[in-house]
Structure 1
Amino acid sequence: MNTLGTETEPLAPIAPDRRGPGSLWAWTGAVAGLAGVVGIQASMAMSAAYNERTAGNAVAIMTEFAGHRTPMLVMHLTLMVSTTLLLVFAAGLQRRLRAGTPEFSLVPTVAAFGLVLTSVATLMGTGLDTELLFGLGNTDQMVPEVAVFASHWMGTIPWLWVGAGVSGVAVAVAVLHHRAAPRWIGWASIVLGGLTLLLGISPLQYMAGFTGPVWVLVAGVGFALADRRAR
């Protein structure tokens, strides 16, 4: 009985939520990977700076580049989607791997940091898009050399997916060494992630943009299906 003379009922204990983590984070990764694939393909469509017909001619490069604003918009939208969703996938992947690796293992953190690094690269790769999408609409107001630089920028920076390779190798270690997920995810990660990492380290670093998004897509789908079956 309290001081006011009224009885109070004891608080009912709150039952803990025993449901495991869902698979939304993994599907988020799959979407991030798919968006990355589309973004890289859109980047390939903007080849003004690499066209033999316009090589060395800044005005010609700017003129051709001005006709590529549609793929530029596609690249911007898809890579920005990938940029944001990679962060969610990184957080979910770290939590997922922690559940299947030793308590003080660095593997989950390394896997997450690799995806964060990739998110930064895709963000930087789209950093000039707004200026160019509007600026190329009126080339009389643009310095041709700026368009040349931007064309090279969009053909290189968005392709720096080496961080995804780091994440892929970390996932492979977690799966093949600690059995943190189905083994096929580990083998896919060692192949796609390892290749992405090697390409990213090599002077052919931009080729990591071909395999990095594919690994993110495969890993996202793989973890989503594996966790659904586990429930």
Structure 2
Amino acid sequence: MVDAVYDPDTAGDPSAVVSRLSEQVPQILVFHTATMFSCVLLVLFAVGLHRQLRGRTAPDSLVPGVAVAGLGLVAVAQLLGAGLTTEFAFALAEDPDLVLPESAAFFNHWIGTIPWLWGGAGLTGLALFGAARRGAYAPWLGWASLVLGGLSALFLVSPLQYMAGMTGPVWLLVVSLGLLRTARES
């Protein structure tokens, strides 16, 4: 939704990017709020998952730590990814001339990449696969975590790391529903 730097009509022209971004302030603020809300929810989910994994895995297992660390990486990426939004949004709303065109272009690239670094969720997915292989969860949950988490982890180490922004949230949705089902069956 905040696409000034990617729009063929403005790409490569920092002054045109500033002008277009000044028209997208509402979208920037919605992006900021949604990203920060997601960040908070991810931390809560990660802590709950960590607690649950501690109870379902061996006392010396690395699985709970890897799981919470993976989602922690995602939450930090979202926190940092949305960190500049208010500074730019308020300056763009007040007077677009307050924003250096090159900085605005960088900002748009930043929010187009950093919050989508969901590769850490791949580590969590692989940890859940390991837990499911040891009987902590239903096999289908383990296989879903292997496939979606594995793809996210591959994106993490590739030059296309922001592509995990596609697979990571899908993994989270599938696992969340699976864990709710598991909790109801317990």
For normalisation by structure 2, the TM-score amounts to 0.95
Among residues 109, 118, 129, which one is paired with 1:161 in the alignment?
118
1:228 equivalent in alignment to 2:184: yes
- Larger Rg, first or second structure (1 or 2): 1
Compute the displacement of 1:219 (Å).
1.2
For normalisation by structure 1, the TM-score amounts to 0.77
Letter in 2 for 1:70: P
Query: What is the distance in 2 between the residues matched to 1:142 and 1:101?
Result: 52
What runs of 5+ residues in structure 2 fail to find an aligned partner?
none
Among residues 94, 99, 114, which one is paired with 2:70 in the alignment?
114
What runs of 5+ residues in structure 1 fail to find an aligned partner?
1-44
Query: What is the distance in 1 between the residues matched to 2:42 and 2:12?
Result: 37
Mapped contact 1:99–1:180 kept (Cα < 8 A): no
Q: What is the SS of the residue equivalent to 2:83?
A: coil
Query: What is the distance in 2 between the residues matched to 1:47 and 1:72?
Result: 10
Offset from partner CA, 1:129-179 (integer Å, 9 cap, x none): 11111111110222111111111111111111111111011111111x211
Runs of 4+ in 1 over 6 A off after TM superposition: none
Compute the displacement of 1:191 (Å).
1.0
Query: What is the distance in 1 between the residues matched to 2:38 and 2:7?
Result: 28
- More moved, 58-67 vs 94-103: 94-103
Compute the displacement of 1:91 (Å).
1.2
Compute the displacement of 1:198 (Å).
0.5
Query: What is the distance in 2 between the residues matched to 1:72 and 1:58?
Result: 17
Compute the displacement of 1:117 (Å).
1.1
1:201 equivalent in alignment to 2:145: no
Identical pairs, percent: 48
Mapped contact 2:29–2:86 kept (Cα < 8 A): no
- What is the alpha-carbon root mean square deviation over aligned residues? 1.1
Mapped contact 1:100–1:178 kept (Cα < 8 A): no
Query: What is the distance in 1 between the residues matched to 2:139 and 2:41?
Result: 25
